[in-house]
A and B are shown apart, each in its own frame.
Chain A
Amino acid sequence: MAEMPAFTPVHLLTGFLGSGKTTLLKRLLADPALADTAVLINEFGEIGLDHHLVERIDDTMVLLQSGCVCCTVRGELADALRELHSKRERGLVPPFTRVIIESTGLADPFPVLSTLKSDPVLRHHFRAGTVVTTVDAVNGLSQLDTYVESTRQAAIADRLVITKADLCEDKADLSRLLSRLTEFNPDAQRIMAGTDDPDADALFGDHAAQRATKLQSPSGFYCDTPTLRVTAEGVALHTAISSFVVTVDRPIDWTGFGIWLTMLLNRHGERVLRVKGILDLVGEDRPVAVHGVQHLVHPPVHLDAWPSGQRVSRLVFIVDGLDANLLKRSFNAFALAGNSDARPQPEAAAQIRNA
């Protein structure tokens, strides 16, 4: 019997319609590494079809049929997970150690994560795992331009799987797609799908069950500086999804930061697709990492050491139509407020470097 983790990770597999989620899932489930995985498939449509395609029908496979995960099905998702948990406790199903949810192509991934966090039973047994988003190399670019769902899915992802790259004849298109993805999700790991890869471990492997390690970007440094989209006039676009980094070289007041971020997320939560950062806090030697997706912020994590030995707070924002400069100014005014009381300085607003 496999050892059951205290918190079962729930991974989310998402991606726009036709971007290869089910194909990927089907291949992954054949991998012995995923033998102890419960799968929830959510489909938008009258007749669920995906679960036939995946060809694995057992008690740990649940089909959520009554609608899209993001709207009607939240209750059903919670029920399904609770049911799975209860069956596992009673020994009615094999003791799964992870759950994968395949969401519909139109779903906004956020409510799934939020369900895990807010359900009184689930939050003691499950935790949010990796968000994997498939992006179609052929149609991806136009989908990103046309459908906000597609952009949100890509912006929220921890790992992006580029599918159908072999079908993509124009390599320039592919590199445009990749640079586009870098624009609004600079820190996600990008994986090219082939016939045999990525393997299950690369996508859902959770070596250290700590969010902290996930906060390290593939390049090793915490956050790669994202490129800012600019219009022809050289003005930063803030009508579309953009990402930017706020860098502060003075310690931040944790309390003020908490007040500020909760206030920001209360008002603009749906437009803050992602916020993650490493903070140099007043009174703390080690860095503290925060990680949030829309209205949901994960418990802050103490990191062991500064990634580059440099004590600088950096916060990456992926926002949908918020003014980056206003947000930086606001952060400055609020999160450093308590700090300036303790150390009155004429230049109370810390220097913020525009990325």
Chain B
Amino acid sequence: MCSLCGVIGGNEHWTDAVARPGVFTRNVERLDRRRERARRVSAANSVLSAFGMSLSDWQGSAFVLATRTGKSEMIEDLGHLWPAAERLSGRLCDPLDPQLILRMEEANHG
């Protein structure tokens, strides 16, 4: 746990795997790590915008998920993103929702 902010060190999520022999991760070099986080924020935002939410990096160590009305929640990794997004928006974030898929497909084409 960080003694300053009280963030409890949690699970190692697979998208942030600690570098070990054989393990693929972009969590090693500082620059790679920052770049990957920035990409993650942008990729998540392309989905979250469908739910009126946005994600931003917080000090390179966590993310802040916020709705348009300002409700916000800190999350640690992608493992916590979707439960928090469903809680804040009050909607189900279902990647198999045909409308959401359509939206993503249109965004890719556009």
Contact = CB atoms under 8 A, between A and B. Distances in A.
Contacts of A300: 14, 17, 23-25
A333 B79 contact: no
Contacts of A259: 40, 43-44, 47, 78, 81
A84 interface: no
Contact of B43 (A292, A301, A338): A338
B7 interface: no
Given A258-B78, A262-B15, A330-B96, A253 B43 contact: yes
7 nearest A-B pairs in the assembled complex, by CB-CB distance: A266-B82, A299-B17, A333-B104, A297-B14, A258-B15, A348-B108, A300-B24
Interface in A316-355: 322-323, 326-327, 329-330, 332-334, 336-338, 340, 346, 348-349
Contact of B11 (A118, A267, A268, A346): A118
B52 to A, nearest CB: 16
Contacts of A337: 43, 46, 104, 107-108
Contacts of B78: 258-259, 262
A202 B92 CA distance: 44
Interface residues of B, number: 38
Interface of A: 117-118, 123, 210, 212, 253-256, 258-260, 262-264, 266-268, 284, 288, 290, 292, 297-302, 322-323, 326-327, 329-330, 332-334, 336-338, 340, 346, 348-349
A162 to B, nearest CB: 32
Nearest to A348: B108
Nearest to B48: A259
B40 to A, nearest CB: 5
A327 B96 contact: yes
A299 B14 contact: yes
Nearest to A211: B22
A255 B92 CA distance: 21
B101 A329 contact: yes
Given A264-B95, A267-B94, A254 B26 contact: yes
A301 B79 CA distance: 19
Nearest to A210: B22
Interface string B39-74: 110111011000000000000000000000000000
B47 A299 contact: no
A255 B43 contact: yes
A266 B93 contact: yes
Given A302-B23, A348-B108, 10 more contacts: A253-B43, A259-B44, A267-B95, A267-B96, A268-B94, A288-B24, A292-B14, A301-B22, A301-B24, A329-B101
Contact of A263 (B39, B42, B93): B93
A258 to B, nearest CB: 4
B39 A338 contact: yes
B30 interface: no
Interface in B1-52: 11-12, 14-15, 17-18, 20, 22-26, 36, 39-40, 42-44, 46-47
Contact of B12 (A123, A263, A266): A123
Contact of A301 (B23, B83, B96): B23
Given A259-B43, A262-B79, A266-B82, A333 B22 contact: no
28 contacts: A118-B11, A212-B22, A255-B43, A259-B43, A259-B47, A263-B47, A263-B81, A263-B82, A263-B93, A267-B92, A288-B24, A292-B14, A299-B23, A299-B24, A300-B14, A300-B24, A302-B22, A302-B24, A327-B96, A329-B101, A329-B105, A330-B95, A333-B108, A334-B47, A334-B95, A337-B43, A348-B109, A349-B108
A326 B107 contact: no
B43 A262 contact: no
Given A301-B22, A333-B101, A263 B108 contact: no
